[in-house]
A and B are shown apart, each in its own frame.
Chain A
Amino acid sequence: GESVGLHLPTLSVQEGDNSIINCAYSNSASDYFIWYKQESGKGPQFIIDIRSNMDKRQGQRVTVLLNKTVKHLSLQIAATQPGDSAVYFCAENMGNQGGKLIFGQGTELSVKP
């Protein structure tokens, strides 16, 4: 999961396995959440988003789960591939309409062939 500090949390999985990346968000008023993938040397790339009126949303090989009771967000990647190796960030909108997305520290996913 994501946490404060200089060392990114890391997750190492075998190719073909499912990955679960966790995120604890801070503001109970946040009503929009988003996951990004960042490959080395590139800008963050949108993966999937979810609004607070939902608790699950699925995309292509990815699923986001939202548990508002414990302020927890997770990203599930099915059949993880080497191309999924990257840093994954969650972000929340802090309950405002002003484009103020606040990001977590990130989790580094490493996929072993």
Chain B
Amino acid sequence: NAGVTQTPKFQVLKTGQSMTLQCAQDMNHEYMSWYRQDPGMGLRLIHYSVGAGITDQGEVPNGYNVSRSTTEDFPLRLLSAAPSQTSVYFCASSWGGNEKLFFGSGTQLSVL
């Protein structure tokens, strides 16, 4: 039982490049979320999903796309990376909307 698995752990991009951050969970959780964390700040919600086929925007969705084709996977796509997207990204999942989130170990992204 791996929990929430994020890949890659580290990534460096050039401005304008695209990439996908992968997130998978093996706990059969319906709810999955993506957060970004910047120095000295809390976690800000990017996008979230209440189940396969359903996604919604969080606090800071611009520049990011998500999809939820399966219960297990919730990838985060950066279509054209910008330096402002340099951050640590965390994926999380839970059984329900009012249940505790389980977090992955994070992806540290630098956009040059």
Contacts and interface: CB of A to CB of B under 8 A. Distances in A.
**Interface size band for A:** 20 to 34
B43 A99 contact: no
A89 B41 CA distance: 10
5 contacts: A42-B105, A43-B106, A93-B97, A97-B50, A103-B35
A6 B39 contact: yes
Main secondary structure of the interface of A (DSSP, over half): loop
B40 A99 contact: no
B66 interface: no
A82 interface: no
Contacts of A6: 39-41
A15 interface: no
Nearest to B59: A102
Contact of B98 (A31, A44, A105): A31
Interface of B: 30-33, 35, 39-45, 48-50, 56, 58-59, 90, 94, 96-98, 100-106
Given A96-B97, A100-B48, 4 more contacts: A6-B39, A7-B40, A97-B96, A98-B56
B86 to A, nearest CB: 15
Interface in A37-66: 42-46, 49, 51
A24 B54 CA distance: 31
A34 interface: yes
Interface of A: 2, 5-8, 31-32, 34, 42-46, 49, 51, 89, 93, 96-106
Contacts of B48: 98-100
A103 B43 contact: yes
B42 A103 contact: yes
B100 A99 contact: no
A84 to B, nearest CB: 19
B105 A97 contact: no
A46 B102 contact: yes
Given A98-B48, A100-B48, A103-B44, A49 B39 contact: no
